[in-house]
Structure formats: structure tokens, C-alpha cells
Amino acid sequence: MIKEWFKSGLPWVWLNAAAVSVCLIMIVSVLGLIAVRGASHFWPAQVVQFAYQDDGGQVQTLIGEHVDSSVTPAVMARANGIKMADNEDTLIQYLVKTGNRDVTGSDFRWIQERHVKSQQTPDDIMVIERREWGNFYGRLTAVKESGKVIASGANANAIALQKLDVTLGLFKDIAHIEKKEIGAVNYDLERLRLKQKKLQLEQQWDAKAQQEVAAEKAAYDKVYNAYQAQLQGLYQKARQDSLLVKTDSGSEVEISLAKVVRLYQPNQMGVFAKIGHYGSKVVEFLTEDPREANTEGGIFPAIFGTVLMVMMMAVMVTPFGVIAAVYLREYAKQGFVTRLIRIAVNNLAGVPSIVYGVFGLGFFVYILGGNIDQLFFPEAAPAPVFGTPGLLWASITLALLTLPVVIVSTEEGLSRIPKSIREGSLALGATKLETLWLTVLPMASPAMMTGLILAVARAAGEVAPLMLVGVVKMAPTLPLDGNFPFLHLDRKFMHLGFHIYDVGFQSPNVEAARPLVYATSLLLVVVILGLNLSAILIRNHLREKYRALEG
């Protein structure tokens, strides 16, 4: 019976089903962990006030968020030099986010559960999110304007929120002037400087050219000085208000509202208030620039850079992959050379991605980019234009990396088209090119889209080659803006994959960065799924359109 059962093939069917089930469970578990940890990062946590007894026997007040817990066996605790009673079997510790890094030197602290005398969640504890130094936890005592107290006690909270709304509005105006207006003026001044140097190199720097350049520069300087004066006024208004906050140790700290991003009291927030807070944090995460060494704020530049790079890569890799596949399947003589080329293409798909990065840095950046700078941008020397890593070289490198996938998928799609389709088209008087362009390629388009889907899935998550050919920790400007030529292929950019690596492994504040790693990983998965779903919908539409012809 057992031999017959094995001969029937059912054991292998069940084995494959079990393997697929295990893989699905593992994938769902990983995605579930990322989703839970990443999505919960934005929910406002309760702030706990601990009465904590230190090693000297004194009881001190400690305020912070209960982030994590750990349970250590007594044997291991004693081995680490921690004194424990004979009747204690385990050591329970709490990780508390205490904030106030500018006061205490660190914003996380481990405390032992056995030394905690009491825990409370007072309603008057305020969380202050700042542009630097992380969160501040304390009790608001007064609001000051131009150094004078204008509100204290119960009225201080409402006045502080009103003042913060005004200050945030001022900073929106400041950001617009700095990034848009002054950024455009600086861009035009740089182009004018390059124009002047080009005229000097071409021996055309005469009196007329000097007058024209001087007039243009004077006009730009006038606009620049006007914006600077406007900025000074806005900064002066934004810096006139401040908060007096009492820490858990009882000392008072003055915090300028210009450094504050958000004020809230989580212990007295209801469900709807927390949902609103959660929504505002998610919107900030998706639309704002990062701050605090990328451990706070948003990741919009990384989202923008990832999507733009993948779209450029797709535009580059698709025509080259299709042309190569068409040549190998439709035009090349099938023989030893063709088989050798196919083996080489298949082997290229297994080359480590970092090798492509090294090749891109050496060939695209240093050779091609360096020669382009010498031929077309000599006035920019010694500063490189295309002779440095940037968006263009990163897109081309990833296009080269994913090219084998598109070639193989397209060639397989071409091979599945019946020979009778080609013969019928030729019999009706069409040329080979017309048959290929109007009949064969449209029917093979679903296979092309399959290759593009696989290429996008791989390229969007690559990090190693991008570290060499264009990605950076913090990009000052986006590759796409309102300045001519609008799309700046020479600029460096941010990427979600590299952002995860940087925050997770290069951050000076590991505990603060950990939740952001999960949130960014979740967003990267969502971005890849979105790009793939778009390609899948197009592929399914094309497949249904040409299904009748295949039949």
C-alpha cells in the first residue's frame, strides 16, 4: 500500500502543498509584524509617572512612555552583576522613553520593575515634539511672549496651542520662501555664474557681456535681499514666543515655540482625539521632510526618489529588453552563438547587485559622466555635473541589473505565439517588420509586462548598488522641481531602502529609530505592491484583449 501510495505521487503533492503553506505563513507573519509595529508607531502612547527607588534608596519621579519590557532569569542577572534576593526567580525591566535629551543626555532608560513603587497617568503631563533633541515630557507652567509671561496655570494650555498654530503657519511661509523663492534665485545665480565662466573660457568676456551679467546679477541680488528681509521678519515673529515647562525633577526649562512641532496631552485624549492625532502623524510621515538624523518627521523625499527612479528605470529597461529579445527570437540565426548569448543573459541575472553598482560607478559615472562634463560642461570644472553619482546613473544601473529578467520574459512570450499567426500575416501581404510590430509584439505584450513587474519588484528594493551611484542620506532638493529643465538627472536623491538601512544601522539613537524602521519598511512594501499592481492590471487587460488571437 505504501509503495503504491508513493507511486501515485500523492506524497509529493502533499509535500509541495506543505512547503507552499509554510512559505505563505512565514511571509504573512513577517508582513504582519512589520504592519503592526510600523502602523502602531503613530498612535499616541500613555505617559506614565513612575515613583522609582534608585540604588541609594531615594525615591524619585520618572516620567515617560512605557516602550518595552524584558524578563531575565535570575541566574543571568546575577552573572551580570545585578544584586537579587534569593527568592527572586526573574528580573523584570521596563524600557521607558523619558525624552528630555537636552537635559538628561539620553531619552531612553531601563528601570527595574521591583524598584517601581507606584505608577500613575496624570492628565496634566504634556508631550512636546521638537524639531531637535526629540520629545520633551513635563508639565506646562506658563507661556511667554517677548520674555514676558502672558498665560499661566489652567489658561496656559489653550494659549500655547493658539500660539503654536500661529508659529507653524509662520514656518510654512518660511519654508516656502527658503525652498521655492530663494532656492529659485540661488539656482538662477548659479546658472549666471556658469554663464560668466563659459564666456571667459570662450574668450567672449568683453565689456558688453560684463555689463549684461552685472545687470542680471544686480537684479537677482535685489530679489534675494528682499526675500532675506522678509525671512528675518518671519523668524523674529516665530521666535518671540516660548514655553515654561517643569520636568520630572522639578526644574523649569524654557522652550522656544520655534523649535516645537506639536503639543498634546495623551493621558486626557479620547478615542476620537487619538484617531485625529494618528491621522495627522501619518500625513506628516508621508508628506514632510525628515529631521533629527532621519529618526523623526516624514520621508516624502525618499518616497518621491524611489518612485521616480523606478519609473525612469522602467522606461529605460523595457525598450532595450524587448529589442534584445526580438533579435534573439525573430532575427538571430539559432546556433552556438545564440545559445551562448542566452546562457550569458541567464547568468547575468545571478550576478550580485553590488557588482552592478561598482560597474555603474566606474563606467557610467567616471567614464561617461566625466567625458560628458569635459565636452558639454567645462565651465563647471572642477565641480562635476554628470561625473558624480546621480539619478540618471542610478536608473541606468538598475536598468542594466534588471535587463536579463525583461529579456527572458519577453523571449518566452514570443516563443508561445503560434507560428500560424506569423505565416497568416505574411500570407496577407504584410512584411516581416509589419507582422512583428502589429501582430507579434502586441500578443507578446503580457509577457513583456510580466518581465517589467519582476524588474520593478527587484529594482525598488535594491540598496547596495544605489549606495555607489546616487542615493544619499539627505538630499537638499528633489530631482524634480520648478526650475528649468525641471527634471535634474544629475542630482542625488533619497531612497526608501537606503533610508531603512541608514535609520536602522547608522542612527545615533537606535531605540528612537527602531519604530521608524518598521514604518518605512511597511511603506516600501506598499509602494512596491502599488507599482506591481499597476503593471499587473495593464498586463491582465492586454491578456484579455489578445486571448482570442491566441486561441
Q: Quick one: 102 and 148 in the same domain?
A: no
Q: How many domains does the chain have?
A: 3
Q: Quick one: 413 and 464 in the same domain?
A: yes
On whether residue 1 sits in a domain, the answer given is no
Q: What is the CATH number of the domain that holds 469?
A: 1.10.3720.10
pLDDT at 216: 92
On whether residue 292 sits in a domain, the answer given is no
On whether residue 448 sits in a domain, the answer given is yes
- Domain encompassing residue 351: 303-495
Q: Quick one: 115 and 217 in the same domain?
A: no
- Respond yes or no on whether the N-terminal peptide bond of residue 442 is cis (omega within 30° of 0): no
Instruction: Assign 204 a pLDDT band (cuts: 50, 70, 90).
Output: confident
Q: What is the CATH number of the domain that holds 111?
A: 2.30.30
Residue 248: exposure state from Cβ atoms within 10 A (0-12, 13-18, ≥19): buried
Q: Quick one: 217 and 104 in the same domain?
A: no
Could you report the per-residue pLDDT of 27-71, keeping only the tens digit for each? 889 888 888 888 888 899 899 999 988 777 788 888 999 988 888
pLDDT at 133: 87
CB 383, CB 355: distance < 8 Å = no
pLDDT at 439: 84
Q: Quick one: 341 and 384 in the same domain?
A: yes
Q: How far apart are CA 399 and CA 189, in angstroms?
A: 35
Mean pLDDT of the chain: 88
pLDDT at 1: 65
Residue 479 cell numbers, joined:
530631482
Residue of 224, 151, 124 whose CA lies nearest to 183: 224
Beta bridge partners of residue 53, listed in sequence order:
59
Residue of 68, 72, 61 whose CA lies nearest to 119: 61
Q: Quick one: 460 and 349 in the same domain?
A: yes
Q: Quick one: 243 and 374 in the same domain?
A: no
Residue 550 has pLDDT above 60, yes or no: no
Q: Quick one: 158 and 240 in the same domain?
A: yes
Instruction: Assign 166 a pLDDT band (cuts: 50, 70, 90).
Output: very high
Q: Quick one: 327 and 429 in the same domain?
A: yes
On whether residue 547 sits in a domain, the answer given is no
On whether residue 126 sits in a domain, the answer given is no
Interacting residues of 356 by C-beta distance below 8 A, sequence separation 6+: 397, 398, 400, 401, 465
Average pLDDT over residues 145-149: 88
Q: Quick one: 213 and 318 in the same domain?
A: no
Average pLDDT over residues 171-179: 91
Q: Quick one: 308 and 262 in the same domain?
A: no
